[in-house]
Structure formats: C-alpha cells, structure tokens
Amino acid sequence: MKRLGDKCYCKDKVSSPITKYTELEPALCQELKKIVEAVVVPGKGLLACDESPASLQKRFDELGVENTETNRRNYRQMLFSADKSEFSKCISGVILHHETVYEKTTDGIDMIELLRQRNVVPGIKVDKGLVPLFGAKNENTTEGLDNLQERCIQYKRDGCHFAKWRCTFSITETTPSQLAMVTNADVLARYATICQSARIVPIIEPEILSPGDHGINKALEVHEEVLSNVMRALHQHRVYLEGMILKSAMVLSGRKEEVNCTPQIVAEHTVLALQRTIPPAVPAVLFLSGGQTDEDSVINLNAIVNYEGKKPWQLTYCYGRALQNEVMKIWKGNSAKVAEAQTLLLKKIKLASQAALGQLEVENSVCTK
C-alpha cells in the first residue's frame, strides 16, 4: 500500500495505462498556490489584453488607427504605464498576447518588466482560437494543444506565470450539444495539466455566450451542465484544483426584452450555478464581462459579491473590453490623448475593484461614483 495524504492507493504489480498517472511534486503544488495567491487578491482583478492583431483590426479600423505592431505596442504601453500606485491597487495580473510578451516600451524596457515593476503578474493566452467542431452543428472547439508544453516552458522562462484558454458555448434549442460540452471540457482539462506541469497556473475559461432568445432559467441550466462537465474532466485528468483559476460568464438572460433580470436576479442565478458545480478547493472565480455593458459588468459583479449565501471562492473580475472600450476611443493612436485615456482607465478599474469588494455605490442600477 502506498499512502498519499489521507488516502491509500494500492500499487498494482502490473502498471496499468488506465490507472497510472503522474503526480505533481509537493514543491510544484506549492509554487502554483503561491502564484494563485499573488493573482487572487481581495479588491484586485485581471486586465485582459490578449487580443490578437487580427481581432484588433476591426476596433482600430473604427477609430481610424492603422493596425501596425507599433500602434499595438503604443496602445498596450499606454494601458500598462498608467499611474503605478492606482493601477497596482486594482490590477494584480494582465493577460498578454504572444506579441506583447516580446515587445519593449519606447524607453527600451521589456513589457514584462514594466508589469513586474508595478507588482503585476504577467500571464499569457495560449489557445490558438476557435475552430469548427466536426460532428456538431454550428459549434466550436479550441485548438492549440500541439506543442503546448514546449510553449508553456518557454513562456515560464520569459516571465509568464499563468495562462488562459477559452472555449465557447452558445445557448439555443439544440446547443450546447453533449458532444461540444464533453469535447471542450476534455480540451480544457488537457490544457490545465500541461500548464501545471510547466509551473504555470491555468485559467480555465468555458465561456457561455449570452446572446440568444433564452431566459435566465435556461441560462442557469446550461451553466450547470457545462461547468459540471468541466469539473468532471478536471477530476479525471487529475488537475490540481488548488493551483488553477476558473474564469466564468455570469448567468444572463439572452432576451433583450427581458428587463426584469435585475442585478440581484443575476447574482442569485450566478451564485447558484457555482454552488452546484464548483468545489471549494478551487480558489477563485473570475468573471468575464461578455454580453454586458461596461456599467452592467460592475453592477452585476457588485451584486454577486454581496449576495447572501455560501461563496467559498474569491470572486473578482477579469475584464477586457469593459475596461478598455471607452479608453481606446479616447486614445485613438494620439500620444497627446494618453493622459486623458489613462485617467479614464484608472476610473474604470477603480469601479471594478470596488465591485469586487462589494463596495460599489449603486443607485437605481446606476453607478454613482
């Protein structure tokens, strides 16, 4: 008999490929937990800046900004160089695109080093985007597992300590299908184990898209099913739960005319979905802002944090567009507008930080400060 923790596992005389697995060393587990502790800090959240050059194309086009590497660098530098004390009070980590990891500021400082100087943990998006899922109708999976371990090892050497991988699910009468849920859960679990083996904390993002004709009860049902499949796969792949982070959508109605879904109703359904599926061993749940207005994303987060009920996870934000939309419109590639854009960015992340603490001042579903 071999004793592991408080449980005993029989060691078979003949090694079985079904039951044999590689355990993480205690020192590696401890390192992953320390990274989680550095990223998951009360009142702080993550800034998602992992848009690819292709995904920035449309947004830059709308603003009349040429989509060049220099302009992308200048934009990210504008974000990261906002007032250090204010920025680091609200942001604990930044998710980067591969391009940004290897860029330097106009002063010749590595972008990763700029973040480190601000006590912000650099992270990296490692998936390679959505592709059609064969055998399913109008559903996707995510590619990028090939050579992922080698890439993660290199990113770790270059200063990234956590990673993000996104799979998406749409809500219709026929989706998400069982095939899509099982396939994407398995992909997320495989990604997570590879990251952990390379000393990188995986952020697992099964994003349930909100647009559609569904009501909030249907959304709750789908969230429970998707998250249950993900947690089952993580268990089967023996992912170290204390060394991972979940990134989740809020439970939202897709019906535009359904105006009765108050922040309290969103909070109730979101917390219920998590209570029914996510074990306390998972240290944190980061909410994404997809499908919401900038204001709704912080008001709903505030309501979730304040909702009465068991919430054994640290709850906070990992927002991209909700923090950047209006900031980018002010910046427009104009260096003279950097200070104004940074002021708005700091205002937005301060509101998100207050929401993550449940301290947002809200009157009639409108932020008052």
Catalytic residues: 205, 247
CB 126 within 8 A of CB 151: yes
The set of residues, in sequence order, having a beta carbon less than 8 Å from that of 132 and lying 6+ positions away, is 139, 140
Q: Please check whether residue 216 is in contact with residue 268, taking contact to mean a CB–CB distance below 8 angstroms.
A: no
Contact 192, 145 (CB under 8 A): no
**What six digits make up the tokens of 318?**
């990992």
Strand partners, 314: 284
Q: What is the C-alpha R_g of the chain? A: 21
Cis bond leading into 176, ω under 30°? yes
| SS3 state at 205 | strand
Residues 32, 199: contact at Cβ < 8 Å? yes
Task: Give the integer Cα–Cα distance in Å for 336 and 356.
Answer: 32
CA dihedral 163, 104, 69, 337 (to 10 degrees): 100
* Residues facing 366 on adjacent strands: 363
Cα distance between residue 312 and residue 279, in whole Å? 8
